[in-house]
Amino acid sequence: MSDDPQLVRKFQRELNAGTVSLVLLAILGHAAEPMYGYQIAKQLEAVEDGSGMFKQGTLYPVLRNMAAAGLLESEVEPSITGPPRRYYRITPRGREVLAAWRRAWDTTRDLVDALLT
């Protein structure tokens, strides 16, 4: 059974591939103000409760990809305490995609849960 952890890690990676973008877009969809990467990571960490699902390093490429796809806008601002920060906000297009992704997530989740019981 020594390679079971590997199969579980692979499964978790596959689950994350879809869900990390959804979760990031949802956080920025709720945010009252633009957020920078570290802020988002901290908010995720508070919710995930040590499960380590979202590694900080994996968030940045996802944010950049979503910005490239027009779902987010970003702006660099100087910081008093360190290097400049890139702030992200959701675009109107991002809100439309978020709504569609939520529907896809709800359907898939319900289907998987129905088949698991």
List the one residue out of 48, 42, 82, 86 whose CA is nearest residue 64. Answer: 86
| Closer residue to its own copies, CB minimum distance, 13 or 84 | 13
Least distance from its own copies to the Cβ atom of residue 44, Å: 7
User: What residues contact residue 103 under an 8 Å CB cut-off, 6+ apart?
Assistant: none
| Closer residue to its own copies, CB minimum distance, 51 or 81 | 51
Least distance from its own copies to the Cβ atom of residue 89, Å: 18
3-class SS of residue 65:
helix
- Residues of this chain that interact with its own copies (CB under 8 A) are 1, 4, 7-8, 11-12, 14-19, 21-23, 26-27, 44, 47-48, 51, 53, 69, 71, 93, 96-97, 100-102, 104-105, 107-109, 111-116
